[in-house]
Amino acid sequence: MKIRFPDIKPEDCVFIVNKEKRTVVCYMVDVNHQFVDTVPYDFDEFLRDDRWSSHSKYVLNTKYCGIAKCAPDDEWDEEIGRRIAYHRMLHKFHKDFFRVASKFINTVDALLLDYLEQVNSFGERCSRNYQRQLDWISEHVKMPTEE
């Protein structure tokens, strides 16, 4: 299963630059990326069940922030500060994304294992029932003998 990262560009973020403190802050608020929306469409019907989208285990945070501070002995460059703050914010987003993805994958794995156990159990019951029917037939039905 391939999970697609939402495409977050610097244009989607808000930057606050403080030249006096030599600091750049990059943040995203009201993040409306649902983790379920990043899962391939093969699982579409499976995922549209309410237990996925409404469950807090599978919801991403609503805001992410990255901060870049220029050391006193370094030369101030706003563009470099923006890039550093953006990538730090993106790192936090990806870390949260992987947290939710691992919970989701573990849940799907458990559901699939449970499903396979039910299928195996059903198959075993069918096999036992079939064997009982064969045993009953062999005990109660006399096969004609060839003469």
pLDDT of residue 46: 57
Domain boundaries, the chain: 10-106
- Parallel, antiparallel, or unpaired for β 64-69 and 14-18? unpaired
Q: Which long-range contacts (CB under 8 A, 24 or more apart) does 106-115 make?
A: 107/57
Q: What is the pTM of this model?
A: 0.65
Residue 90 makes CB contacts below 8 A (sequence gap 6+) with 8, 64, 66
Reported as a pLDDT band with limits 50, 70 and 90, residue 3 is low
> Tens digits of per-residue pLDDT, 12-24?
889 999 999 999 9
Higher pLDDT among residues 98 and 26, named by residue: 26
- String of DSSP letters for 28-39: E-S----GGGGS
pLDDT of residue 15: 95
pLDDT of residue 92: 92
> Tens digits of per-residue pLDDT, 87-99?
999 999 889 888 8
Query: Does the structure show a pLDDT above 60 at 137?
Result: yes
Average pLDDT value over all residues in the chain: 79
> Tens digits of per-residue pLDDT, 36-79?
556 655 554 555 555 555 556 677 788 899 999 999 999 999 99
User: Sheet containing 14-18: which strands, arranged edge to edge?
Assistant: 14-18, 23-28, 64-69
